[in-house]
């Protein structure tokens, strides 16, 4: 059975991107071993001075180890002003400093969501252009629009039939790629 690790790009305790990841991983039950990693670690804003003085933070190493043991990743990126949040950007920067190719050999299902109709699509496009530079292969991606209108966070389910079917197709395609 393949190992899949998932995380949202936000450090918010009520992250809608983490909820979307939980939903996706829930659809993998019985097909893949999965784990949700909440990246609300105590990770400082990346800075070369911090790296030179203190090295790579232990929480970055822990996250890198979780990614390393996985066959596939489910990542949902959030969006602040048309790009990743400063927090996720910093975590990503630290990971690349710990190992430039930290995504090497990883098959990635990449998603994004937001309260708005664009579903954080700018952040998703940015992630699709950046992540392959660090060894990852994005095998599927989708933007989930108007999260609160189409998702029941209490039940962890998509409430819109068309979106549910579309996401199910993306998940099936990801699983197919993962098993190759």
CA distance 163 to 150: 8
pLDDT digits (tens, 9 = 90+) for 132-179: 999 999 999 999 999 999 999 999 999 999 999 999 999 999 999 998
pLDDT value of residue 11: 85
pLDDT value of residue 39: 64
pLDDT value of residue 180: 74
The residue written with tokens 């001075």 in the block is 49
Residue-number span of the structural domain to which 156 is assigned = 2-179
Beta bridge partners of 158: 151
pLDDT value of residue 1: 83
pLDDT value of residue 40: 63
CA distance 159 to 28: 19
CA distance 154 to 140: 26
Identify the segments of the chain with pLDDT beneath 70. Answer: 34-41
pLDDT value of residue 117: 95
* Number of domain units in the chain: 1
pLDDT value of residue 38: 62
CA distance 29 to 6: 13
pLDDT value of residue 29: 84
CATH of the domain at 149: 3.40.50.360
pTM score above 0.75: yes
């Amino acid at each position: 059975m393949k190992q899949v690790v998932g995380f949202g790009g936000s450090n918010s305790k009520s992250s809608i991107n983490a909820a979307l990841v939980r939903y996706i991983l829930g659809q993998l039950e019985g097909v893949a071993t999965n784990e949700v990693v909440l990246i609300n670690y105590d990770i400082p804003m990346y800075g070369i001075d911090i790296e030179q003085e203190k090295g790579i933070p232990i929480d970055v190493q822990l996250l890198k180890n979780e990614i390393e043991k996985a066959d596939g990743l489910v990542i949902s990126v959030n969006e602040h002003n048309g790009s990743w949040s400063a927090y996720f950007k910093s975590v990503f920067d630290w990971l690349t400093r710990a190992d430039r190719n930290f995504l090497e050999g990883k098959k990635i299902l990449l998603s994004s969501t937001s309260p708005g109709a664009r579903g954080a699509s700018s952040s998703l496009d940015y992630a699709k252009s950046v992540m392959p530079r660090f060894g990852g292969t994005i095998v599927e991606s989708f933007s989930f629009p108007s999260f609160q209108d189409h998702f029941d966070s209490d039940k962890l389910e998509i409430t819109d039939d068309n979106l549910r079917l579309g996401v199910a197709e993306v998940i099936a395609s990801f699983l197919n790629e993962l098993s190759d």
